[in-house]
């Protein structure tokens, strides 16, 4: 692209990739996690609405369970979504990392900024989404929303058998630790290069950029951006939705 035609950071179109292809083993038996309902609406629809609520996000790429792309497409048709946002659905892969890469492969060329957001974080507030986008537009190649930890964290020697006692090796200083959420935001080229270069399995996209070298920037996350992982998280998510309905005066 020539310099004259390259969009300024404030104009660079933003796309969101939503990996939603996981089974949700820790949530217990049932439908794939992203398709499970929260107050009657699939978690994935909540997550899509949360990202599409940002005026800066003009495309959402949903990475569906490998055999569930048709089902996800009909879910999108059946639920009200903003007209100004485009949607694509692609089938996912075996790992989260592979699912994200398949979503990136589907991105049209004009999107210079990419957010990656877990379908399993259906309640992220739009202000958090916008804060991540703003930090990327301000020049950070990779941005993560984070929260301080409530619990002290120990490093252990993992037991061979789950549940057996474990030796504690170290206690990192809690004040220097952060829990990482999504959406994580990236300069597209940086994220694509990270996915091409890092082959070991990772649990978040920003750590791949860390391995490449560029400094990843942390911005404040939000307690409502928690990940629905275990059954109790479903209770918490429905309580958050109930509180929002009360506050909105419904
Ligand atoms: N994910 C994905 N493709 C995979 C695995 C995970 O797109 N092969 C997505 C999940 O759908 C989820 C996000 O990555 O939105 C975060 O992963 P996690 O919370 O671990 O979800 P699951 O892998 O589905 O849950 P579990 O690990 O309990 O099976
Ligand atoms: Mg998982």
Residue 9: per-residue pLDDT: 77
pLDDT tens digits, 231-250: 999 999 999 999 999 998 75
Residue numbers of the chain with a pLDDT score lower than 70? 1-6, 250
Ligand at minimal distance from the CA of 95 is 1
Q: What percent of the chain stands above pLDDT 90?
A: 92
**CA of residue 57 to ligand 2 center, whole Å:** 26
Nearest to 226 by CA among 133, 150, 147, 126: 147
Average pLDDT, the chain: 95
Residue 5: per-residue pLDDT: 65
**CA of residue 99 to ligand 1 center, whole Å:** 9
Residue 227: per-residue pLDDT: 98
Report whether the peptide linkage leading into residue 183 is cis, meaning its omega lies within 30 degrees of zero: yes
Domains of the chain: 14-145+179-248 (3.90.550.10)
pLDDT tens digits, 25-62: 999 999 999 999 999 999 999 999 999 999 999 999 99
Determine the residue of 20, 33, 42, 226 to mutate for testing ligand 1's pocket, defined as the one with the most ligand atoms within 8 A of the Cβ atom.
33
Nearest to 144 by CA among 88, 206, 100: 206
Among protein residues, the one with the nearest Cα to ligand 1's atom 10 is: 22
Among protein residues, the one with the nearest Cα to ligand 1's atom 16 is: 118
Residue 88: per-residue pLDDT: 98
């Amino acid at each position: 692209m020539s310099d004259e035609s390259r969009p300024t950071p404030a104009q660079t179109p933003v796309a969101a990739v939503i990996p939603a292809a996981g089974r949700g083993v820790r949530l217990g038996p049932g439908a794939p996690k992203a398709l499970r309902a929260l107050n009657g609406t699939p978690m994935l629809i909540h997550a899509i609405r949360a990202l599409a609520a940002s005026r800066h996000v003009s495309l959402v790429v949903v990475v569906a369970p490998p055999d569930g792309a048709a089902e996800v497409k009909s879910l999108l048709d059946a639920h009200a979504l903003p007209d100004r946002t485009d949607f694509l659905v692609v089938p996912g892969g075996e790992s989260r990392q592979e699912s994200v890469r398949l979503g990136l492969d589907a991105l049209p060329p004009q999107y210079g900024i990419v957010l990656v957001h877990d379908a399993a974080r259906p309640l992220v507030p739009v202000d958090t989404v916008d804060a991540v986008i703003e930090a990327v537009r301000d020049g950070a190649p990779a941005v993560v929303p984070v929260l301080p930890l409530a619990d002290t964290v120990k490093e252990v020697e993992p037991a061979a058998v789950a549940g057996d006692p474990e030796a504690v090796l170290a206690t990192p200083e809690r004040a220097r630790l952060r829990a990482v959420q999504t959406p994580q935001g990236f300069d597209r080229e940086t994220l694509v290069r990270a996915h091409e270069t890092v082959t070991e399995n990772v649990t978040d996209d920003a750590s791949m950029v860390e391995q490449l070298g560029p400094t990843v920037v942390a911005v404040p996350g939000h307690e409502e951006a928690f990940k629905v992982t275990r059954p109790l998280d479903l209770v918490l998510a429905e309580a958050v939705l109930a509180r929002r309905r009360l506050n909105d005066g419904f």
